[in-house]
Amino acid sequence: MRKLLKNSILEIFQTLFEAHSEIKRFIDEKDYANADTLLEDCRSTADQVAGFVEDSEGAGHPAAVQIREYCKAVHDVSTRMTGDYHGNAARSLLDKKLSRALNSAESDIKVKLEVVFCPYKASMWNFLESIWKACVKDADCDAYVVPIPYYDRNPDYTFRDMHYEGDMFPAYVPVTHYDSYDFEERSPDIIFIHNPYDDGNFVTSVDPRFYSGELKKHTDLLVYVPYYLFPKQPEPHLINTPVLDHADCVIVQNEQTREAYLSEIDKRGSNMELKKHILVLGTPKTDKIHEICVNGIEVPEEWEAWAKGKIKLFINTNVSLILNNNERFVENLSRAFKILLRRGDVFVIWCEHPLTFETLRSMRPGMLEAYNKLRSIFQRSGLGVLDTNPEAYEAISFSDCYFGAGGSLAPIYAATGKPMMLTAYKYPDNISLKSAPLASLLKQVDRSLYFSERYANFLDLFLDNLELLESFRNKRFEFLSDITVNTDGTSGQKIMNSVKSMLLK
């Protein structure tokens, strides 16, 4: 039974208890007509409740049986109140029978929670998927995946194109169209979201009907699960978001991030109750990588053929690189490709951020033409493939090593234990064959996995020493454990358990 209906039944019981006091008073005053009317109201109401229980839980359910026993007692009082039942005796009998029905309803009616997941981009579903899987396996829950539409923004902040990606989710995920799910009517018990911005994003916006404040009107528990991981310090613009004014629970990756959210809530001075429910439980994204590392994943056959005998390099570019490096982003990426083409022993799997074009159009329109040109050159060069899959799982599994941005994909890739090179793409002006001693480079890797721009041909050094860098696998796992908890594939299950427990309390 839905929690909402069970709560309504329990509230009806409380109303019936209150009616018993009035019935006693009417009987004591010998106002039998009003007593009989109120008794019939109690019987009729209880009979309807018994019907609700039987429709939901099946005929012969213990709570329904006890409610029917209460109805008999009401009838007994009604027929004998002028003789055997004075006021106290009538109330005592009715209270006793109703208490048994109440106890049975509380203990024997199992709550079935309706849980809705509202992603907007299919490529970000991995930050909710393992929670959804845990929910699907839970006999006490009904899970719905309701992808919500979103808009690109023009440079003047107005809406441009509308997108709906409900048909881009994995085939094993049953999707409900947002027009087919009436949030107001169904009032789901829990809603999970991963977009915190509402109208505060300059690049995209979910449909205003699904801003966090609107969704909160229709649920007991609005849970925000970030669609990113902070590799180091939490970025303020990702913490200071509208969702904090409406969410009932926020899932965070570590204690440092929790403190950042607590500080932001204190600054706002609103929704202070949320401070109790900033839960350090990790991220579902690492659950998927853990699954891939254990079970593997099928990759395109052509990748296998093209990459034969070569180093398989995962290249990640993200929105921060575009915004922080301005026009040099394209130039620096081009120089990296030239190094790799010179080598001739590298197969590149380039994963660009799903919001790349939206970001360029709305915030760096002057870079769009150069970026498109570089993208076309790469695709014609034979250097590798541009992975446009909504999720990078195949690329993560297939590749030997990682090069690129230190955003949310970096700590996720670290879960594989493979060698990594993080860079801000702030390359020196001249790429020369001279370099710092290898020992210094490896010391840098040992310390933080970050390659400084002062190493002129650091990319060559990295690729030439992958076998040696494999020895730092434990360092990479330490790096990951400092960033997020529950990296053993249990984050989604723990999130679901905690949120469910929070609601049922």
Which whole number is the average pLDDT over 454-468?
A: 73
Per-residue DSSP letters for 250-286?
A: EEESSHHHHHHHHHHHHHHT--GGGGGGEEE---HHH
Helix axes 491-504, 129-137, angle to 10 degrees: 60
pLDDT at 196: 96
Average of per-residue pLDDT across 150-159: 93
Q: What is the pLDDT of residues 481-493, one digit of tens each?
A: 878 999 889 999 9
Whether the pLDDT of residue 292 is over 70: the answer is yes
Q: What is the DSSP letter of 310?
A: S
| pLDDT at 460 (0 to 100) | 81
* Domain tally, the chain: 3
Tokens 């309701």 belong to residue: 146
Which pLDDT score, from 0 to 100, does residue 424 have?
Answer: 57
CA dist 105 and 19 (Å) reads 19
Name which of 20-34, 78-92, 365-379, 457-471 the model is least confident about. Answer: 457-471
Q: Cα(462)–Cα(451) distance, rounded to whole angstroms?
A: 9
pLDDT over 90 (residue 1): yes
What pLDDT is attached to residue 448? 36
Weakest mean pLDDT among 2-16, 232-246, 275-289, 367-381: 232-246
What is the mean pLDDT of the segment spanning 362-391? Answer: 91
Q: How many C-beta atoms surround the C-beta of residue 273 within 10 A? A: 9
* Model confidence pTM above 0.85: no
Domain edge (last residue) among 61, 91, 108: 108
Instruction: Please name the residue that has the structure tokens 């995920």.
Output: 173
Beta-carbon count within 10 A of 131 CB: 27
pLDDT digits (tens, 9 = 90+) for 108-138: 999 999 999 999 999 889 899 999 999 999 9
Same domain, 133 and 247: yes
Nearest to 16, CA basis, from 87, 107, 96: 96
Tokens describing residue 196 = 């915190």
Lay out the sheet containing 150-153: strands in order across. Answer: 159-163, 150-153, 204-206
Asked if 68 and 48 touch (Cβ cutoff 8 Å), the reply is: no
Q: 264 and 251 share a domain?
A: yes
Contact (Cβ atoms closer than 8 angstroms) between residue 122 and residue 165: yes
As a whole number of angstroms, the distance between CA 122 and CA 77 comes to: 62
pLDDT of residue 447: 36
How far CA 251 is from CA of 34, 247, 274, in Å, comes to 55, 11, 11
- Evaluate if residue 207 carries a pLDDT over 70: yes
**pLDDT-derived band at 499, boundaries 50, 70, 90:** very high
Residues 378 and 250 in one domain: no
pLDDT in tens, 8-42: 999 999 999 999 999 999 999 999 999 999 999 99
Give the DSSP letter of residue 231.
Answer: S
Characterize 478-505 residue by residue with b for buried, 16 or more Cβ atoms within 10 angstroms of its Cβ, and e for exposed: ebbeebbbbbebbbbbbbbebbbebbee
Answer yes or no: do 102 and 125 share one domain: no
Which of 108, 138, 161 is the last residue before a domain boundary?
108
For the segment 341-357, the average pLDDT, to the nearest whole number, is 91
Of the candidates 108, 128, 162, which is a domain's last residue?
108
Q: Check residue 371 and give its pLDDT.
A: 94
Region 315-321: mean pLDDT is 85
Regarding whether 266 and 124 lie in a shared domain, the answer is: yes
Distance CA 183, CA 356 (A): 32
Residue type at position 407:
G
DSSP string across 330-354 = HHHHHHHHHHHHHH--EEEEEEE-T
Which residue segment(s) compose the domain that 359 sits in? 288-483
Residue 444 confidence (pLDDT): 46
Q: Are residues 17 and 45 in the same domain?
A: yes
Question: How many angstroms separate the CA atoms of 260 and 283, rounded?
Answer: 17
- Reduce the DSSP state of residue 378 to 3 states and report it: helix
Tell whether 332 and 434 lie within a shared domain.
yes
At 388, which amino acid appears? T
User: Based on the domain organization, do 211 and 313 belong to the same domain?
Assistant: no
Dist CA 171 CA 174 (whole Å): 7
Residue recorded with tokens 């006091």 = 21
Q: Are residues 171 and 216 in the same domain?
A: yes
pLDDT the model gives residue 420: 85
Give me the percent of the chain exceeding a pLDDT of 90: 66
Query: Domain check: are 95 and 122 in the same one?
Result: no
- Residues 344 and 421 occupy one common structural domain: yes
Percent of the chain with pLDDT over 70: 91
CATH number at residue 210: 3.40.50.2000
With beta carbons less than 8 A apart as the criterion, state whether 335 and 371 touch: no
- What is the predicted pLDDT for the residue at 138? 97
Find the helix or strand (DSSP H, E) in which 161 lies.
strand 159-163
> 199 and 229 in contact (C-beta within 8 Å)?
no
Q: What is the pLDDT averaged over residues 371-398?
A: 91
Tens of pLDDT, residue by residue over 400-454, are 999 887 777 877 888 888 888 877 544 443 333 333 344 444 444 433 333 434 4
Contacts of 266 (CB under 8 A, 6+ apart): 275
pLDDT (0 to 100) of residue 232: 67
Residue found by looking up tokens 């109805």 in the block: 71
Residues 296, 361 within the same domain: yes
pLDDT (0 to 100) of residue 76: 94
204-206 vs 150-153, strand pairing mode: antiparallel
